[in-house]
Amino acid sequence: MPKTECSVCFLVFVALAASLVVAGEPIKFESHRIGSFRSEACCVADFTGDGRLDIVAGPFVYVAPDWRPWKIRNLKGEVDEQGNGYYRDFANLSIDVDGDGRLDIVSCDWFDKCIVWYRNTGSEGPLWPRTVIEISTNYESADLVDIDGDGRAEEILAHLASTVWYERVDKAEGGSRVVKHVVSEKPCDFGGGVGSRDEVEINDQAGFAVNAALAYTGEGVAGGQRRPRVDGRWSCW
């Protein structure tokens, strides 16, 4: 079961900076309630293409600047007034999966053991079509990270018992698909992260690119599973 039961982000809100950054002074935040739907995941990105950052949480895009809720999907699940329960939505990652210029959403589900994406239709009306990327195992969550070291956090690192990540690639005949990369099938505690060689202690290894990214599993940085990508292949020790 996800360890975040009933504890994270059920109330939809956004914290906006209320003061300018002044050298040496902490940034102050002021919370603004923009909705009351209780769910766990959210993300911030420009889903309408107007240059303003919107918010996705639960079944809605809350559209800036007035945070009007735009319903884009239905979610399975239920959360009661005490915050008990789940909606089947354990990550919201903003990425243009189909390459049409509009940001879509990648999500995952612990209970249905799947990773999915919702296609941004660009206009209000029909709900965003849902496409299953894979059904395999329990998905605790997922992050957008820069695994290939190109400076863009466009790779999907899923938090599973195994260590895998997903990549959006263009198809030769047009369109796109999401490709799965398996780093290790060894089951570990849930969790995931990525860091550069400078950020994670590893042993030196011939041929290892200085800026290559690492993925490691929930066994942690200290003594955990670290597998650097070397020339397009993964190795481990």
Name the site residues for Ca ion (rule: CB under 5 A).
46, 48, 50, 52, 54, 96, 98, 100, 102, 104, 146, 148, 150, 152, 154
Q: Are 227 and 194 in contact (CB under 8 A)?
A: no
Could you tell me which residues come within 8 angstroms of residue 112 by beta carbon, excluding any fewer than 6 positions away? 76, 88, 135
DSSP structure class, residue 82: T
Nearer to Ca ion, 45 or 188 (CB): 45
Neighbour count for residue 139 (Cβ, 10 Å)? 24
Nearer to Ca ion, 150 or 201 (CB): 150
Q: How far is the CB of 52 from Ca ion (least distance, A)?
A: 4
Q: How far is the CB of 190 from Ca ion (least distance, A)?
A: 23
Nearer to Ca ion, 50 or 78 (CB): 50
> What would the two tokens of residue 62 be?
């809350």
Displacement of CA 28 from its chain's centroid (Å): 26
According to DSSP, the β-strands at 192-196 and 176-184 are: unpaired
DSSP structure class, residue 220: -
DSSP structure class, residue 121: -
Nearer to Ca ion, 151 or 223 (CB): 151
Q: How far is the CB of 131 from Ca ion (least distance, A)?
A: 11
Nearer to Ca ion, 143 or 154 (CB): 154
Nearer to Ca ion, 167 or 219 (CB): 167
3-class secondary structure, 125: coil
Nearer to Ca ion, 33 or 52 (CB): 52
> What would the two tokens of residue 74 be?
């239905």
Q: How far is the CB of 137 from Ca ion (least distance, A)?
A: 24
Displacement of CA 182 from its chain's centroid (Å): 18
Q: Which residue number has the CB closest to Ca ion?
A: 48
Nearest to 53 by CA among 27, 14, 92, 89: 14
Q: How far is the CB of 138 from Ca ion (least distance, A)?
A: 26
> What would the two tokens of residue 232 be?
């397009």
Q: How far is the CB of 68 from Ca ion (least distance, A)?
A: 11
∠ CA 6-68-5, nearest 5°, is 5
Query: What amino acid is encoded at 171 in this protein?
Result: K
Q: How far is the CB of 49 from Ca ion (least distance, A)?
A: 7
